[in-house]
């Protein structure tokens, strides 16, 4: 999630745990702790693929953060002026303010290495967009109440409760979307196909579904207000013929570890050389995939890996107008919104008549 939301979450958790005893201090320190894991964004690994795949890494590990919280609790128990606070309360305060950060990140699409240093893929079960005002606003209101009144417990506790209720609603909404998808997947024989169900920007009423089908991927939008309206499914090429070339490269394998099957490959002319580019299909929206990486260049007949991979500017046909169309699609499901309207023609394989 964004930095403001993470700070607000840490502040609300801090106020809920120790606000009665520490007042505003519990809220302010909690906000600082809530942003601490994201300081890794300032680390530059000197390589575009390394930067994206290492973010939300060691600094988001439940093992690391629990250890850090325990250390801080020991220090506070021995040196803080508030001698009446037990080690257990200090431990709950520091650990919860820290670990709720990656646990919230897990509920977004990007993926979070909560089990670092274990060699497992990043965890992600997206139910909220990386910026969601309806999640953040109750936290901010609760914190504002605490700072204005000096009551560090009541406002943060109410804000935290409402934001958690919103997450519960988002989880239920995702369940409804997956239930509506089941007949479509069965009809096409895609029950076992990798699929990603995630909310569209800034809401949990309209969901984007990406289904990987070999060398193709399907896209559809499913809204909670759609009723019995069947999803409109569009099909795009994934450039899978280039996938073995990418997987033969160290950086290509690292990107595959990070994004799983949700990668698109293409050979582009860049700086006078044919360049292999991989795009993460998860992050963004069709027509605006924000994360693309140059992995190799063709040297006569062979592909040579780039010593330092580079991030490539997205081939975007989406913008503020697209957000407006998404908003209209939420409230008027009969107004079909087709993702192919924003995608370069070279990627389109099939568009239904409804588009």
150-173 pLDDT, tens digit each: 998 999 999 999 999 999 999 999
The predicted pLDDT at position 297 comes to 95
pLDDT over 90, % of the chain: 82
The predicted pLDDT at position 349 comes to 94
Q: Is the pLDDT of residue 321 over 90?
A: no
Indicate the burial class of 161 (C-beta count within 10 angstroms; 0-12, 13-18, 19 or more). middle
pTM: 0.93
Residue 75 pLDDT grade (very low, low, confident, very high; cuts 50, 70, 90)? very high
Residue 319 pLDDT grade (very low, low, confident, very high; cuts 50, 70, 90)? low
Lowest mean pLDDT among 17-21, 198-202, 282-286, 317-321: 317-321
Reported as type and span, the H/E element at residue 277 is strand 273-280
Residue 354 pLDDT grade (very low, low, confident, very high; cuts 50, 70, 90)? confident
Rounded mean pLDDT of 272-298? 93
Q: What is the pLDDT of residues 81-111, one digit of tens each?
A: 988 999 999 999 999 999 999 999 999 999 9
Q: Is the pLDDT of residue 77 over 90?
A: yes
Average pLDDT, the chain: 94
Q: How far is CA 336 from CA 4, 55, 233, in A?
A: 34, 36, 11
Geometric angle at alpha carbon 27, from 16 and 111, rounded to 5°: 80
3-state secondary structure of 198: strand
Lowest mean pLDDT among 5-9, 215-219, 314-318: 314-318
Rounded mean pLDDT of 166-195? 96
Q: What is the pLDDT of residues 251-262, one digit of tens each?
A: 999 999 999 899
Cβ–Cβ under 8 Å, residues 316 and 287: yes
Q: Which residues of 188-209 are buried (b: 16+ CB within 10 A; e: fewer)?
A: eebeeeebbbbbbbbbbbbbbb
Residue 50 pLDDT grade (very low, low, confident, very high; cuts 50, 70, 90)? very high
Rounded mean pLDDT of 270-295? 92
Residue 288 pLDDT grade (very low, low, confident, very high; cuts 50, 70, 90)? confident
Is the backbone of residue 287 left (phi > 0), alpha (psi -120 to 50) or beta? left
Q: What is the pLDDT of residues 213-243, one digit of tens each?
A: 999 999 999 999 998 888 999 999 999 999 9
The predicted pLDDT at position 316 comes to 65
Lowest mean pLDDT among 312-316, 322-326, 340-344: 312-316
């Amino acid at each position: 999630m964004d930095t403001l939301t993470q700070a607000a979450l840490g502040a609300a958790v801090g106020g809920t745990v120790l606000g009665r005893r520490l007042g505003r201090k519990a809220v302010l320190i909690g906000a600082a702790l809530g942003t601490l894991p994201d300081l890794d964004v300032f680390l530059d690994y000197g390589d575009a693929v390394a930067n994206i795949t290492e973010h939300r890494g060691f600094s988001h590990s439940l093992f690391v953060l629990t250890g850090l919280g325990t250390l801080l609790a020991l220090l506070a128990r021995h040196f803080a002026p508030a001698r009446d606070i037990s080690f257990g309360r200090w431990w709950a305060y520091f650990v919860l303010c820290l670990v709720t950060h990656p646990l919230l990140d897990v509920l977004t699409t990007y993926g979070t290495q909560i089990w670092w240093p274990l060699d497992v893929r990043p965890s992600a079960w997206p139910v909220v967009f990386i910026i969601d005002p309806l999640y953040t606003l109750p936290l901010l209101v609760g914190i504002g109440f605490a700072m204005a009144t000096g009551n560090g417990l009541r406002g943060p506790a109410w804000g935290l409760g409402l934001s958690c209720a919103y997450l519960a609603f988002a989880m239920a909404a995702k369940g409804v979307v997956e239930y509506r998808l089941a007949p479509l997947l069965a009809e096409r024989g895609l029950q076992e196909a990798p699929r990603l169900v995630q909310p569209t920007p800034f809401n949990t009423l309209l969901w984007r579904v990406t289904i990987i089908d070999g060398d193709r991927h399907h896209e559809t939008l499913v809204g909670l207000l759609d009723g019995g309206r069947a999803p409109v499914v569009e099909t795009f090429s994934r450039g899978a013929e280039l996938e073995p070339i990418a997987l033969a490269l160290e950086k290509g394998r690292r990107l595959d570890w990070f994004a799983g099957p949700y990668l698109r490959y293409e050979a582009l002319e860049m700086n006078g050389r044919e360049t292999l580019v991989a795009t993460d299909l998860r992050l963004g929206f069709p027509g605006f995939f924000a994360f693309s990486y140059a992995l190799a260049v063709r040297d006569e007949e062979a592909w040579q890996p780039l010593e330092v991979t580079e991030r490539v500017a997205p081939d975007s046909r989406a913008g503020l107008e697209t957000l407006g169309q998404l908003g209209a699609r939420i409230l008027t499901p009969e107004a079909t919104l087709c993702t192919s309207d924003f995608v370069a023609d070279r990627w389109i394989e099939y568009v239904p008549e409804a588009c």
